[in-house]
Amino acid sequence: MEKAMKATLASMTVPLPAETKVETTEQIVEVQAEDNEQDLKKRQAERFRDLLRDKYNEGKISSTCNWEHAVKHIQSDPRFRILTKVSEKKQLFNAWKVQRQKEERDEKRLAIKKAKEDLEKWLQDHPKMKPGLKYMRAREIFGKEAVWQAVHEDDRQDIFREALSYVTKRDADLNRETRKRNIKALAEILESMDQITYKTTWAQAQRLLIENPQFADDTTLQSMDKEDALIVFEEHIRELTSMSLWSSLYPVISSDPRFDAMLTQDGSTPLDLFKFYVEELKEQYGQDRRVIKDILSDQKKVVQVDTTFEEFSKWVTSAEKGLVVDYGNMKLCYNSLVEKAESKEREAEREEARKKRRQESEFRHLLRAQQPMVDADTEWTAVRGKIEKEKAFIVIDSEEIRLKYFEDYKRSLSEACSHHHSVSKKKKKDKKKRGKRSDKESDSESETREKKKRKKRMKEEKDSDDEKGRLFSNRCNFLEMSSELFSLTYGALVTEMLQDYEDPKQVNIRLDKIGFNMGTRLADDFLAKNAHVPKCTDCRQIADVLSKNAIPAYLGVPATVSNWSSGDREFSLIIENNPLTELVEVPSSLSALNYSQVLAGAIRGGLEALHFKVPFSILIVVHSDLLRIFWYFVKTL
């Protein structure tokens, strides 16, 4: 029975592999058919893209045209009918447009980059590009060249400055290397000429050099600076001085046949002779110093702190008796006279400072003794007539210094009064509070109080800034106030903020905030007075309204727009003849201060009042009368 059952089961399982094999083959055929269909679609899509590329190259279609325009030019081509569905054709066309626009942007960027590189290389190699060349002159010389016209004006100026810096540095390096080479070559020629001794004059040496074939064949050496040549000659004939060392002299004379001959002689060695000679030169220092002083006295020359040794050497050697002065002694005498001049200058500066302190102290005592007493509101004109005959008044030479001492005195009175009435009260109040606190007060409670103090202080600073902004806005009417008064008023505001914060970056932020608040209020005024201005829907329209309507109306100066990028969402707004800097010069120590940041903040505030979101604007002053503001629009609110 068991054998029969096993045989039955075996007969049932045998056909199964054959059926599985049939199903697998059918699946393979279906997959191959699907693959063939996908390959066919890919080839059809590629042929359709070839059609679009060909028509683009022929100029029939562009990356910005719509589907209806493109169909007119591509429907007659047989490849247009490769795809049967219109939706597939549109999908491929739109994908090709996006890709083509990206490629055009890349090509444009690469073309601009290459044009800049070509212009920079061209300027660096041009023979008319010389150090000191001005941009206006360069524009006249190169203005008609294609490589010059291929670059935008702003970029062209930057490239010109970089190329000019490169050319200046290159020429300076070349001149330095040429000078170094000429000095070395002349020293070698003089070393090889036995006719030149310590008794040879410079005029005789020049005649000998002309007759020297090595010098006559070197045209570069013949154009050497005459002063450098004279210095080399003097160093050659005066190589051994009172400051010379045997270790420096030995390598020079050891190869000379005369040194070897000296070694075979009895008596003093070359080292002994060297020591005797140097000692004689050192003993001669007193005599040389007296000769130098006589020469300077005859020529009425005085050694100052900034007097160079070359100048000093010329003064001494210009006299006949100065030619015998040892070079080392001359150097020692020069160092001594310069140190003496420095000591006198330091003492004079200290004496002048002490004199000014005494004058200010006496002037303050004079003001303090006046009746009625001088206070923070007293005017200079009311005090001057009373004290103009006093000695403390007369000894001060300048009226400006007297006025400065008077203002400093009033400021000290004001600060002392403020300190007495506010700080002392605050200290008493804090002292009472501390007396009531428990000695077991926890650190967490102290931290909480400290946070409250900081928060209160920040609120006071914020209120102070808001108050300054309101006062400045109320005092300044762009349309009615003169540009001079407006500039001075704004300058006083910036000066006060610099004194409060002492950090130009913090002042930039505060100025932008003040301008932002002003701009939000000016937005309604602008709309009321310019009803003809249409509603802006994109960044180009906004830039156009700013440059042609808003800025000329409120600042009275023209403005231009340039440097569009980031899909027409970023641009530069250039304001010429900046009214804020008309009477102001920002010192170089405040290079981090964006003095005109209030204008950028005002424009930003006006735009956000009209529902256009912009971040903190970046402001750069290119020149004293040129203002450039970079804008990036985030979104429309």
State what percent of residues in the chain have pLDDT above 70: 73
Residue 248 Cα distances to 245, 260, 277, 281, 335, angstroms = 5, 18, 15, 17, 22
Looking from the CA of 415 toward its CB, the CA atoms found within 13 Å total 6
pTM: 0.31
User: Which of 198-207, 236-245, 426-435, 546-555: highest mean pLDDT?
Assistant: 546-555
Q: DSSP of 421-434, one letter per residue?
A: IIIHHHHHHHHHHH
Residue-wise pLDDT tens digits, 247-266? 666 676 677 676 677 777 77
CATH 1.10.10.440 boundaries in the chain: 2-109, 284-419
CATH fold for the domain made of 284-419: Arc Repressor Mutant, subunit A (1.10.10)
Buried b (16+ CB within 10 A) or exposed e, 586-625: beeeeeebbbbbbbbbbbbbbbbbbebebeebebebeeee
Q: What is the DSSP string of 307-318?
A: --HHHHHHHHHT
Instruction: Please tell me whether residue 565 adopts helix, strand or coil conformation.
Output: strand
pLDDT of 428 reads: 53
Mean pLDDT, to the nearest integer, of 50-69?
Answer: 84
Band (573; pLDDT cuts 50, 70, 90): confident
Q: What is the average pLDDT score of the chain?
A: 75
Tell me the mean pLDDT in the region 492-515: 82
Q: Given a cut of 60, is residue 443 above it in pLDDT?
A: no
Crossing angle of helices 135-142 and 153-192, in 10° steps, is: 100
Report the C-alpha gap between 130 and 51 in whole angstroms: 53
Q: What tens digit of pLDDT does each residue of 270-297 get?
A: 777 667 666 666 666 777 888 888 888 8
Residue, of 253 and 209, whose pLDDT is higher: 209
More confident residue, 69 or 8: 69
- What pLDDT, on a 0 to 100 scale, did the predictor assign at position 21? 43
570-576, strands of its sheet edge to edge: 559-565, 570-576, 626-632, 618-623
pLDDT band, residue 359 (cuts 50/70/90): confident
Under 8 Å between Cβ of 514 and 465? yes
Top CATH class, 2-109: mainly alpha
> Where are the domain boundaries for CATH 3.30.1380.20 in the chain?
458-636
**Greater pLDDT, 24 or 100:** 100
Per-residue pLDDT for 19 more than 80? no
Which pLDDT value is given to residue 621?
Answer: 47
d(CA 298, CA 93): 95
**Nearest CA to 615 among 547, 580, 578, 566?**
566
Q: What is the DSSP string of 434-476?
A: HHHS-TT--HHHHHHHHHHHHHHHHHHHHHHHHHHHHHHHHH-
Out of 3.30.1380.20, 3.50.50.60, 3.40.50.2300, 3.10.290.20, which CATH number does the structure's domain 458-636 have? Answer: 3.30.1380.20
CA of residue 172 relative to chain centroid, distance: 22
pLDDT at residue 31 above 60?
yes
**What local confidence, expressed as pLDDT, does residue 34 receive?**
67
pLDDT of 20 over the 50 cut: no
